[in-house]
């Protein structure tokens, strides 16, 4: 059985004419299966989700930047609510849109799953929970959005400062400055004590490194360093960022490792030979980086006992989907849905391309670099079951 119970509480603020629900707390997350049980006790809360990173978790922060790294045009967002392109680099929702509300409904579940899972949850709207994680730079962002979290992520960014500089997107330093601005707004809304309490319980998620490895290293830095040295540099930059987050109040921090980059459709096309096989040197680089990152997080946990720095493996779950697509209902793993699927991403994935597929749910990848909404939903399900206990 799987029980997920959420409740909302309200703050009243002098800046509002009446008491309105501003603060949404996830009081119990209980996921059960035949193999185990994951539960947040009743006195544990996850009041907000705060996200940093690249295009995997960018909700639209790049929309108003002068950069080619954008996706606020069709066919991006084709399967999003209302079929609207929002700047998310996929056909629908991103991983953090699913994770944001940590909600599950029984609608759409196959009958056999309904026999295994009992989802006791009302409609998200009725609970006062937003359905999506908004971009901090969204011009339509409301004050109430601030108290349940936002995304500062910027497509094409990375740990390496050079990675963000070339496409002119938000570096991690830029994202951190926006976070400080966000913290100031929260403090003015609810006070310093409540803001600090909120951050101590919130989930912070960082998704970086793909652009550093696949783009910056293999096309620029390779002539300067061997990869082991570059991986150490990346981990150093990453560690400094995590420590800064800690200094600003973050205590529950989930850090995604690198995915199997050699199996991305665009990398297959560029480095996988005539048969477009997974490029092993890219996968080996991702694995080495992940090993070094995981070790560094162990060190941080030892040095900062009040925090939880949790390494999240996405390499193996995604590789399993790619190698065994039929097991999860997919048909195509070596190319994306958009265009020919072998090279198109960002501006090359556009509505003028006549080759875009009809049904993205059959594909692991939406374009040549980013997975589909269906893949994200599967990965987030695994994240909740495997990692939520780590934040207790």
Annotated active-site positions, please? 55, 367, 370
Is the sign of the CA dihedral 13, 148, 304, 242 positive or negative? negative
């Amino acid at each position: 059985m799987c029980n997920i119970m959420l409740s909302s509480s309200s703050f009243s603020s002098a800046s509002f004419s009446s008491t309105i629900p501003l603060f949404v707390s996830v009081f119990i997350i209980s996921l059960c299966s035949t193999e185990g049980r994951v539960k947040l006790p009743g006195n544990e809360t996850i009041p907000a989700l705060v996200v940093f990173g690249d295009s995997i978790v960018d909700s639209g922060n790049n929309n108003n930047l002068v950069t080619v790294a954008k996706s606020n045009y069709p066919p991006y967002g084709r399967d999003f609510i209302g079929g609207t392109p929002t700047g998310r680099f996929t056909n629908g929702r991103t991983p953090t849109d699913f994770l944001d509300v940590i909600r599950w409904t029984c609608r759409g579940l196959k009958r056999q799953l309904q026999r295994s899972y009992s989802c006791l949850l009302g409609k998200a709207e009725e609970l006062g929970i937003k359905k999506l994680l908004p971009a901090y730079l969204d011009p339509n962002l409301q004050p109430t959005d601030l108290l349940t979290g936002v995304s500062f992520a910027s497509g094409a960014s990375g740990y390496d400062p050079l990675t963000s500089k070339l496409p002119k997107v938000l570096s991690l330093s830029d994202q951190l400055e926006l976070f400080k601005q966000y913290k100031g707004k929260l403090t003015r809304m609810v006070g310093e004590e409540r803001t600090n309490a909120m951050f101590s319980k919130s989930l912070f998620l960082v998704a970086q490194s793909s652009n550093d490895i696949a783009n910056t290293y293999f096309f620029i830095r390779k002539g300067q360093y061997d990869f082991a040295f570059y991986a150490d540099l990346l981990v150093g930059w990453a560690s400094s960022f995590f420590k800064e987050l800690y200094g600003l109040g973050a205590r529950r921090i989930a850090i995604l490792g690198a995915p199997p980059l050699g199996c991305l459709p665009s990398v297959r096309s560029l480095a996988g030979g005539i048969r477009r096989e997974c490029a092993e040197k890219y996968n080996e680089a991702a694995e080495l980086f992940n090993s070094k990152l995981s070790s560094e997080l162990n060190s941080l946990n030892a040095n900062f006992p009040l925090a939880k720095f949790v390494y999240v493996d996405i390499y193996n779950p995604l590789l399993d989907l790619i190698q065994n697509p039929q097991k999860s209902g997919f048909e195509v793993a070596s190319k994306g849905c958009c265009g020919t699927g072998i090279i198109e991403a960002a501006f090359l994935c556009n509505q003028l391309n006549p080759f875009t597929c009809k049904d993205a749910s059959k594909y692991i990848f939406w374009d040549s670099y980013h997975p589909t909404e269906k893949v994200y939903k599967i990965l987030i399900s695994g994240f909740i079951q495997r990692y939520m206990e780590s934040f207790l």
